[in-house]
Amino acid sequence: MLRFLGFRLLRAAVTIVLVVSFAFLVLRLSGDPAQIIMGADAPPEAVAAFRQAWGLEEPLYVQYLRYFGAILRGDLGRSMRDGREAITLVAERIPATLALTVPALLIKLCIGIPAGITAALHRNSLIDRAVMVLAVAGFTVPSFVLGLLLVLVFAVQLGWLPSGGQDSWRHAILPIVTMGVGGAAVLARFTRSAMLEVLGQPYIRTASAKGVPWRAVVWGHALPNAAIPTVTIIGFMVGSLIAGAVVVESVFSWPGVGRLLVVAVANRDLAVVQCILLLVAATMVTANLVVDLLYGALDPRLRNAVRGA
């Protein structure tokens, strides 16, 4: 078990280092932050002074080593726009993002899993076809298109809900629904596929042949085994709680981390972008690590394999 955890932690650390390195290189090769922040009409002396103040005139490898060393010391840098610490700017936006993504995740779980199980248990029936049609529709429609459609119907035409902002709980309804619908559709498809695969296994037929009640077969045998692949997609959804809000927050002008990332990228605010990407990478890696541990709890074969190793 210790070897298993050690390997997973090493893989997580390597993943975060690669993400940080990739973000560092792409941001510095995509444009001059000094020119963008100072403006096209800024005198060359002011631009040069800005570069010197932020260390942008140094060779790329020197900037990288200094940046990576600062991360190891817990220093994620300061915003080039206002001089505030990047981690402070990001931390101020996290509650707003979680106010959307956590309820949206609950919608995905409460709708997607029961819908997928129901569709699998009624395979090729009208219920199954209806669930799959809705799932395909929810999966294929991009989130920004769905968001704009909801705004057009419920904000513009009917006037029931506001189209954007964060003034009250009513402003959160449309973005939550926008994120929840697509995720519920994906989860329904995965759950249905996992359940159908398990229901076709010999041990399910054996249990039914022995006279085990169908409800006991489903709850005691099918669902625990179907949970293993389903946990994977749930782990991905949990890991993308922050990253998945970028488009929706932009559509609904929601002041969260996703919108901050869009603004920071446009302004080449390097420290803020790198801080958000580091947060996203850490969230994804942590979610994947938890999923790996849950595999061992759900599947005794994996647990025994780890002990044997």
3-state secondary structure 111-133: HHHHHHHHHHHCCCCHHHHHHHH
Backbone angles phi, psi at 85, to 5 degrees: -65, 135
- Percent pLDDT > 70 in the chain is 94
pLDDT of 281 strictly over 50: yes
pLDDT of 64 strictly over 70: yes
CB 30 within 8 A of CB 23: no
Largest separation between any pair of C-alpha atoms in the chain: 85
Give the three-state DSSP class for 250: helix
Kindly report the average pLDDT of the chain as a whole number: 84
Give me the sign of the Cα torsion angle 180, 181, 185, 186.
Answer: negative
pLDDT of 38 strictly over 80: no
Which domains are seen in the chain, by residue range? 2-72 (no CATH), 87-308 (1.10.3720.10)
Predicted local distance difference test score (pLDDT) of residue 221: 79
